[in-house]
Amino acid sequence: MAIPLTYNLRSLTVRWTSTVVAVLGIAGTVGVFVAVLSLARGFKATLVASGSAHNAIVRRAGATSEMESVVGLDQVRVVEDAPGIARGSAGPLVSPEVVVIAAFPLRSTGTDANVQVRGVSPKVLAVRDSVKIIAGRFFSMRGNA
């Protein structure tokens, strides 16, 4: 047992540069792996904490995100009439929403910043009970709408 151990220790001192490169390579790989796993766990924790077991998002078949999905008004009526949909004093607790990307110019850099904007109905406050208006009032539509 002493001979292989002695040989390996002598080999480390003779080939110290390749040993350092190997150790740094393994350490770098482990570091990247830990960083990726940390990001994945953080995303999962964010999504779990920000969601609600009482809410569901309805998208069209084949859509991988809200941005790709289009659900027509006739399909919204089907969802509103579906069994299992919660009801409040104003009817079914369904809030059809429009999600778009809007570009806003930044004064500091002169470039555009993409911002996700969500169009909601007044029912959104009943559907998303974690949303509160702390100042001002809910928007209203004026004119012939």
pLDDT digits (tens, 9 = 90+) for 106-132: 888 888 888 888 888 878 888 887 778
Same domain flag for 69 and 106: yes
pTM for the model: 0.52
Which amino acid is present at 8? N
pLDDT at 48: 77
Which residue range forms the structural domain that includes residue 32?
A: 2-50
Dihedral through CA 133, CA 131, CA 99, CA 84, nearest 10?
A: -130
Q: Please count the structural domains in the chain.
A: 2
Same domain flag for 62 and 116: yes
Mean pLDDT rounded to a whole number for the chain: 84
Does position 61 have pLDDT exceeding 90, yes or no?
Answer: no
pLDDT band at 59 (very low <50, low <70, confident <90, very high): confident
Same domain flag for 68 and 99: yes
Dihedral through CA 32, CA 38, CA 41, CA 45, nearest 10?
A: -150
Q: What is the mean pLDDT of residues 70-79?
A: 86
Tokens at 144, concatenated? 């012939």
